[in-house]
Amino acid sequence: MRLRRLVLLVVATPLAVWGGLDLYLFALPSIDRPVRADAVIVLAGDRTPRLDRGLALMHAGLSGTLVISDGLDPQWPAANRLCAGGGGGAEAGAGAEAGFRVVCFRPEPYSTRGEARGFARLARERGWRDVVVVTSTFHVTRARMLFRRCFDGRVQGVGAHASLDRSLFNYVSEPAKLLVQVVLARGC
């Protein structure tokens, strides 16, 4: 009986800790209440909810510039329309009608770290000092951390609700990705 309790304790404790951290860091992370910024960036990934949230912030007048990571991907027609100005990093005319500029780029490497590095480069070139990062809610903690490492300015993290199937997968994978960033890949 004692052995059974010990085994249960050894198995249940790490699972409970994992579940609690998952809830705190990924299901209910700290989300910023965004204020005016030089740019709003929509990260690639769960595209429709992220782009919708980014556009809502733009229409609310949060910034004059919308940056879309991987917005030129032919599999993303809504972003393609906004990025209609052409090539990676080109300013597009589509958002100008709505009162904002659109800048699109393809991150290298194709990862959240690549997005943070690519945005930081754009920010240096354009003199941007603050950004609102729009990503899925489960991704806010890690994305904000990476952008703070790469961008020397104010970073605000905003979550968009991801589809349930995507969220369930990411509640398992995101803690591992965060652990790699915290322990192994600590720089920009």
pLDDT at 89: 42
* Residue keyed to tokens 């769960």: 46
pLDDT at 27: 54
| pTM of the entire predicted model | 0.79
pLDDT at 70: 96
pLDDT at 185: 73
24-43: string of b/e by CB count within 10 Å (b at 16+)? ebbeebeeeebeebbbbbbb
pLDDT at 85: 59
Say how far apart CA 44 and CA 70 lie, in whole Å.
6
Compute the radius of gyration of the chain from its Cα atoms: 18
Residues in the chain: 188
The full set of domain ranges for the chain reads 2-183
Q: Which of 119, 122, 124, 121 is nearest to 135 (CA)?
A: 119
Residues in the chain with pLDDT < 50? 16, 24, 86-90, 92-94
pLDDT at 93: 47
Fold adopted by 2-183? Rossmann fold (3.40.50)
